[in-house]
Amino acid sequence: MALKDVRSGQRNEQGIETVLGLLKQQFGERFQTGQAFREQHAHTTTYLPSQLPDGVVFVETAEDVKAVVSACAAHKVPVIAFGTGSSLEGQVNAPSGGISIDFSRMNRVLQINAEDLDVVVEPGVTREQLNTELRDTGLFFPIDPGANASIGGMAATRASGTNAVRYGTMKDNVLALTVVTANGEEIRTAQRARKSSAGYDLTRLFVGSEGTLGVITSVTLRLQGIPEKIGGGVCAFPSVKAACDAVILTVQMGIPVARIELLDEMQMRACNAYSGLSYAEKPTLFVEFHGTEQTVALQAEQFTEIATECGGDSFSFTANAEERSRLWKARHDAYWASRALAPHLNGLSTDVCVPISRLADCVVETQADIQEHGYLAPIVGHAGDGNFHVLILFDDKDPEDVARAEAFVARLNTRALAMGGTCTGEHGIGQGKMSFLEQELGGAVDLMRSIKKGLDPENIFNPGKIFPMTMSLPNA
């Protein structure tokens, strides 16, 4: 099924009209229906065309969220939660219209529990804001998906990023959520305790549910102590296979590497061109260690041995912060360097994740596919997790080029699934990957549908995401 088909939705015009009136009355200036607002809340970093909501509510409290959800539930109108719009698979599009809930004003850090290494935040807090507010406590929130995403959005898409290899993903770092459910009430998924065996794990059911089961109103997060010392370095390898072997050995030896990123030859070429650098244009690992002076030095030494054994060039390493930033510059600029390869084209950032033993195979086969079809498509991987991204550049105005890009993504996913991998390590299903979810998990998707029907019988929460719009909206 082509993407454009699974993305179509039907509108409940009468319900929407009623809700627009109700929300205008209740929220006044905090409810906006102007074109600019609507466009802004469908326009994301995704390659998928925008589908606009009918209005945007700027919520300030959980009570506001309850009011919006209650109104929408009563009239069977879609509700789409909006953090910062940095999702990549069309998660904030509104295929059936409806109301976008903007969380940018619901961005308070509610409770810092330094002794317990946790924090309670509203969903609109961004990760950079959180780390700024935490600075005096000696603690930090480690998950770093690249974008300055909102914590609510990161929880909803089960985000991770460069240092998941050490600190885990959102599933490992969310301790509890409050959520407004389909009946307009707020529930708490768990207490603040570090662990629990009390009933079904609703926290982890909502983490990664992409706004389809309810609207998150607060997030309790685990924190980490800011490392005394951070060291980082760069090492080029003769082949992707050699680089991946170094990653596998690093993980197997239990070196608690904080980040271990793989950039392929095309990505390194793009980075050199973009920033006037002179890295070797070979598969390269960017590595970071967190610890004390002693343990960082020890880890660097162990990694150097592994890199040498795997045929790597000499490992440029430093524990000096500025020097480390300079060394890591190519990694930080990877996205924009890639886009600069063809500034007139759009970029489709896709991701898969495979067991680490298959990472080299999957990357090498994907590079061959890219070369065979003549794509511009650099590869960046969170190698320690077996997760990698391809940014494929394509002309979104040319239907044939769109089809070519979609066909590439389909082949990539089929390849990853055949290796025991998943069609998305961290971007989520959204609109873009619905067919691959079926391909990946088959009958398990029926269970997901049962859960969706049980928790959101009228399909008001972010309809047309994760599952195609099979549950059509009844008219009010």
HSE at residue 337, side-chain half, CA atoms within 13 A, is: 24
The residue range among 42-50, 76-84, 165-173, 333-341 that interacts with a second copy, by the rule CB under 8 A, is: 165-173
Q: Are 258 and 163 in contact (CB under 8 A)?
A: yes
Q: Among 236, 242, 251, 258, which residue sits at the site for a second copy (rule: CB under 8 A)? A: 251
- Of 252 and 371, the one with the shorter C-beta distance to a second copy is 252
| Interatomic CA distance for residues 54 and 76, integer angstroms | 14
Q: Which residues pair with 233 in a beta bridge?
A: 287, 317
- Of 341 and 423, the one with the shorter C-beta distance to a second copy is 423
| Interatomic CA distance for residues 448 and 454, integer angstroms | 10
Q: Are 460 and 182 in contact (CB under 8 A)?
A: yes
Q: Among 60, 131, 133, 205, which residue sits at the site for a second copy (rule: CB under 8 A)? A: 205
Q: Among 181, 272, 304, 318, which residue sits at the site for a second copy (rule: CB under 8 A)? A: 181
164 binds a second copy (CB under 8 A): yes
- Of 297 and 340, the one with the shorter C-beta distance to a second copy is 297
The residue range among 94-102, 199-207, 232-240, 397-405 that interacts with a second copy, by the rule CB under 8 A, is: 199-207
Contact letters (x/-) for a second copy, 432-461, by CB under 8 A? -x--xx--xxxxxxxxx-xx-xxx------
Q: Is the dihedral of CA 123, 128, 133, 138 positive or negative?
A: positive
- Of 355 and 474, the one with the shorter C-beta distance to a second copy is 355
**Tokens at residue 26, please?**
């209740």
Q: What is the DSSP string of 265-326?
A: HHHHHHHHHHHT----SS-EEEEEEEE-HHHHHHHHHHHHHHHHHTT----EEE--HHHHHH
Q: Are 114 and 137 in contact (CB under 8 A)?
A: yes
157 binds a second copy (CB under 8 A): yes
The count of other CB atoms within 10 Å of the CB of residue 193 is 11
Q: Which helix (H) or strand (E) holds 369?
A: helix 359-373
190 binds a second copy (CB under 8 A): yes
Q: Are 359 and 283 in contact (CB under 8 A)?
A: no
Residues 309-328 that bind a second copy (CB under 8 A): none
Q: Among 355, 371, 403, 474, which residue sits at the site for a second copy (rule: CB under 8 A)? A: 355
Q: Among 40, 107, 169, 284, which residue sits at the site for a second copy (rule: CB under 8 A)? A: 169
Q: What is the DSSP string of 37-84?
A: HHHHTT--SSSSPP---SEEEE--SHHHHHHHHHHHHHTT--EEEESS
The nearest distance, CB 70 to a second copy, in angstroms, is: 15
Q: Are 232 and 286 in contact (CB under 8 A)?
A: yes
Spell out the residues 6+ positions from residue 138 whose beta carbon is closer than 8 angstroms to its own. 114, 225, 226
Q: Which helix (H) or strand (E) holds 393?
A: strand 387-394
The nearest distance, CB 378 to a second copy, in angstroms, is: 22
Residues 281-300 that bind a second copy (CB under 8 A): 294-295, 298
- Of 34 and 457, the one with the shorter C-beta distance to a second copy is 457
The nearest distance, CB 6 to a second copy, in angstroms, is: 15
- Of 7 and 427, the one with the shorter C-beta distance to a second copy is 427
The nearest distance, CB 275 to a second copy, in angstroms, is: 30
Residues 39-98 that bind a second copy (CB under 8 A): none
Q: Among 171, 229, 373, 411, which residue sits at the site for a second copy (rule: CB under 8 A)? A: 171
Q: Give the number of residues in contact with a second copy, rule: CB under 8 A.
A: 90
**Tokens at residue 339, please?**
């886009």
168 binds a second copy (CB under 8 A): yes
Q: Among 21, 225, 399, 474, which residue sits at the site for a second copy (rule: CB under 8 A)? A: 225
Residues 92-151 that bind a second copy (CB under 8 A): 113-118
- Of 51 and 209, the one with the shorter C-beta distance to a second copy is 209
158 binds a second copy (CB under 8 A): yes
- Of 110 and 403, the one with the shorter C-beta distance to a second copy is 110
The residue range among 280-288, 317-325, 337-345, 382-390 that interacts with a second copy, by the rule CB under 8 A, is: 382-390
Q: Among 11, 204, 241, 269, which residue sits at the site for a second copy (rule: CB under 8 A)? A: 204
Residues 400-419 that bind a second copy (CB under 8 A): 416-417
Q: Among 147, 307, 354, 473, which residue sits at the site for a second copy (rule: CB under 8 A)? A: 354
Spell out the residues 6+ positions from residue 339 whose beta carbon is closer than 8 angstroms to its own. 347, 391, 393
The nearest distance, CB 410 to a second copy, in angstroms, is: 15
Q: Among 74, 109, 187, 319, which residue sits at the site for a second copy (rule: CB under 8 A)? A: 187
**Tokens at residue 315, please?**
């490992």
Q: What is the DSSP string of 168-237?
A: --HHHHEEEEEEE-TTS-EEE---SSS---SSS-HHHHHTTSTTSS-EEEEEEEE-EEPPSEEEEEEEE-
